[in-house]
Amino acid sequence: MSKRLLLLNAGVVTMNAQRHQYNDGAVLIADDRIVKIGPSRELVNEIDGETEPIDLRGHWILPGLINTHVHTSQQLGRGLADDVDLLTWLHKRVWPYESNLSEEDSYVSTLLCGIEQIRSGVTCFAEAGGQFVNSMGRGVAELGLRGILTRSTMDMGEGLPSQWQEDTNAVLDVQIANYDRWHGKANGRIRVWFGLRTIFNNSDELIVRTKKLADSYGAGIHMHVAELREENEFAQATRGAATVTHLDKLGVLDKNFLAVHSVWLTEDEIQLFAKRNVKVSHNPAAATRVLGFAKIPEMIDAGICVALGTDGAPTSNRMTLIDDMWLASLIHKGRLLDPMVMPAEQILAMVTCDGAKALLWEDEIGSLEVGKKADLVVVNPNTATMLPMHDPIANLVYAMREHNVESVMCNGRWLMRDHKILTVNEAEVLKEAVQRAKAISQRAGIEIPNRFNILD
Ligand SMILES: [Zn+2]
């Protein structure tokens, strides 16, 4: 008989369909799965010589959080592109940075990003696409996280760095090779999807062939959609319709399509997303900084599955999903002058059960239920920033910070215990990340002007 783990005496937010919550609950884990969940007074009887009990009095247990849009390979570019216009951001900072990244840089970037994910309670994320899926795969396998990997995929576009100029066949072949190498690896924690960067960088032929491939592999498609107002103008001028309307004409909008940002949608296009069962990844920090306010409450009302994401470090700086939960809850209240929109229970669903649906993984993750994978977060609310707990669900969204995330488990294995990262050497990763970040920026010739008069 294998060793079992019994988490006892905690508040347990299951996020199951009935939204069951135990104020004094317990979760029994065997190997990588949850085998029992219920009141502590019942599960305490499960303690035997093969079961390790862990008393979590005063703590809360949540399903592992799901970040549906991250650029792990941009992590070493944090701080390279703040307070600049979009063209400077893209052509002078982020493209030079990303096109000068080596495979090993991308690996260290994934580790750094992964540590920030774990520290903020994330157990699963969807990578939006750097170049080196092998590096990301290595990183995710070592970190112990769960992840969907996607290669940044472009077959056209003005001003692209020369090493990114590839034809349609080549970019599809690389993705098939990535799929064959990584899908299902790391005990099933890694999955591979197909990527489309944006309509600016993807031909119609690529979009159509990607849809066919994703369907034949049973995979999803991850694409930035209608993120900028200029994007719709571009699509209108070059393809004859705004992005979403055009994508629908190409037949790509479907239940396995994850549309990121989706800020500039008309009412009709929102209805189209709902009809086609398209999933949306809302990234409130990126939206607030540069894109605009997506009509998220309206999308949820239309029945669209909306999840949350952090985007990349040069866009939103904080890869801490907890901060995006807080921001998502606030910005729509402000936009609509309605404090009742985007309530805490909605936000919590976006980072758990709805996040799992968006990633087509709801059969195994997204809620704490018998038979599901043991992906969970232990929250310690006993800090000046989170007490008192009059309304626990509200506090978990509006007051929880990164320092309240005490322990994190993925696939039945602790990735962090009592704030200590257990899977990789955090101090070494930090040191190497700083050295590599400096070298990349020098190699790329990126100049960041001083903001103050430096005296030394
Ligand atoms: Zn992105």
Residue 90: which CATH number?
A: 3.20.20.140
Tens of pLDDT, residues 188-203? 999 999 999 999 999 9
CATH code, domain with 374: 2.30.40.10
Number of CB atoms found within 10 A of residue 282's CB: 28
Report how far ligand 1's centroid is from the alpha carbon of 55 (Å): 40
Tens of pLDDT, residues 40-52? 999 999 999 999 9
Instruction: Tally the C-alpha atoms within 13 A of residue 266's C-alpha that lie toward its C-beta.
Output: 10
CA distance 39 to 6: 12
282 strand-pairing partners = 308
The answer as to whether 88 is a domain residue is: yes
* The pLDDT of residue 2 is above 70: no
103 plus 250 within the same structural domain = yes
92 plus 151 within the same structural domain = yes
pLDDT at 86: 86
Tokens of 63: 């399903």
The answer as to whether 454 is a domain residue is: no
257 strand-pairing partners = 221
SS (H, E, C) 168-181: HHHHHHHHHHHHHH
Provide CB contacts within 8 A for 204, sequence distance 6+: 239, 250
The angle that helices 426-443 and 103-119 make with each other, rounded to 10 degrees, is: 130
Q: What is each CA distance from 285 to 135, 328, 379, 407, in whole angstroms? A: 26, 8, 23, 25
pLDDT at 137: 98
Tokens of 92: 């002078």
CA distance 381 to 387: 6
Report how far ligand 1's centroid is from the alpha carbon of 381 (Å): 31
Provide CB contacts within 8 A for 255, sequence distance 6+: 276, 277, 278, 279, 360
SS (H, E, C) 59-102: CEEEECEEEEEECHHHHHHCCCCCCCCHHHHHHHHHHHHHHCCC
CA distance 401 to 432: 27
Provide CB contacts within 8 A for 442, sequence distance 6+: none
Instruction: Single out the residue in 315, 338, 358 at which a domain terminates.
Output: 358
Report how far ligand 1's centroid is from the alpha carbon of 71 (Å): 6
CA distance 327 to 317: 14
Report how far ligand 1's centroid is from the alpha carbon of 94 (Å): 12
Q: 456 falls in which pLDDT band (50, 70, 90)?
A: confident
* The pLDDT of residue 1 is above 80: no
20 plus 112 within the same structural domain = no
Q: Are strands 413-417 and 60-63 parallel, antiparallel or unpaired?
A: unpaired
Q: Which residues surround ligand 1, an ion (CB under 5 A)?
A: 128, 311
316 plus 185 within the same structural domain = yes
Per the structure, the complete domain to which residue 251 belongs is given by: 65-358
Percentage helix, strand, coil for the chain under 3-state DSSP, each rounded to 5: 40, 20, 35
CA distance 55 to 129: 40
Tens of pLDDT, residues 214-238? 999 999 999 999 999 999 999 999 9
Report how far ligand 1's centroid is from the alpha carbon of 70 (Å): 7
**For the chain, percent of residues with pLDDT exceeding 90:** 94
**Has this prediction a pTM greater than 0.85?**
yes
Considering only CA atoms, give the Rg of the chain.
22
353 plus 375 within the same structural domain = no
b/e code 403-424 from CB counts within 10 Å (16+ = b): ebbbbbbbbbbbbbeeeebebb
Q: 394 falls in which pLDDT band (50, 70, 90)?
A: very high
The answer as to whether 451 is a domain residue is: no
Report how far ligand 1's centroid is from the alpha carbon of 367 (Å): 26
Using left for φ > 0, alpha for ψ between -120 and 50, and beta otherwise, residue 268 falls in alpha
* The pLDDT of residue 84 is above 90: yes
The DSSP 8-state label assigned to residue 45 in this structure reads G
pLDDT at 161: 85
Report how far ligand 1's centroid is from the alpha carbon of 224 (Å): 6
Please tell me the total count of domains within the chain.
2
Task: Report residue 129: phi and psi, to 5°.
Answer: 125, 100
b/e code 327-341 from CB counts within 10 Å (16+ = b): bbbebbbebeeeeeb
78 plus 54 within the same structural domain = no
348 plus 379 within the same structural domain = no
Nearest alpha-carbon partner for 343 in 354, 332, 353: 332
Tens of pLDDT, residues 329-367? 999 999 999 999 999 999 999 999 999 999 999 999 999
Nearest alpha-carbon partner for 383 in 364, 356, 361, 402: 402
Instruction: Single out the residue in 309, 326, 358 at which a domain terminates.
Output: 358
The answer as to whether 93 is a domain residue is: yes
314 plus 219 within the same structural domain = yes
Listed as own residue / partner, the contacts of 418-426 with beta carbons closer than 8 Å and 24 or more positions apart are: 419/119, 421/115, 421/118, 421/119, 423/142, 423/143, 423/144, 424/111, 424/114, 424/115, 424/142, 424/143, 426/115
The answer as to whether 444 is a domain residue is: no
Report how far ligand 1's centroid is from the alpha carbon of 369 (Å): 31
Report how far ligand 1's centroid is from the alpha carbon of 312 (Å): 6
Report how far ligand 1's centroid is from the alpha carbon of 128 (Å): 6
The answer as to whether 455 is a domain residue is: no
Q: Could you give the angle at the alpha carbon of 398 between the alpha carbons of 396 and 401, nearest 5°?
A: 70
The answer as to whether 138 is a domain residue is: yes
**For the chain, percent of residues with pLDDT exceeding 70:** 100
Omega before 39 cis (within 30°)? no
225 plus 339 within the same structural domain = yes
pLDDT at 51: 97
Residue indicated by tokens 């056209």: 156
311 plus 337 within the same structural domain = yes
Report how far ligand 1's centroid is from the alpha carbon of 158 (Å): 19
76 plus 152 within the same structural domain = yes
Tens of pLDDT, residues 262-299? 999 999 999 999 999 999 999 999 988 888 999 999 99
134 plus 207 within the same structural domain = yes
The answer as to whether 72 is a domain residue is: yes
First to last CA, the chain: 64
Tokens of 144: 């112990």
Q: 129 falls in which pLDDT band (50, 70, 90)?
A: confident
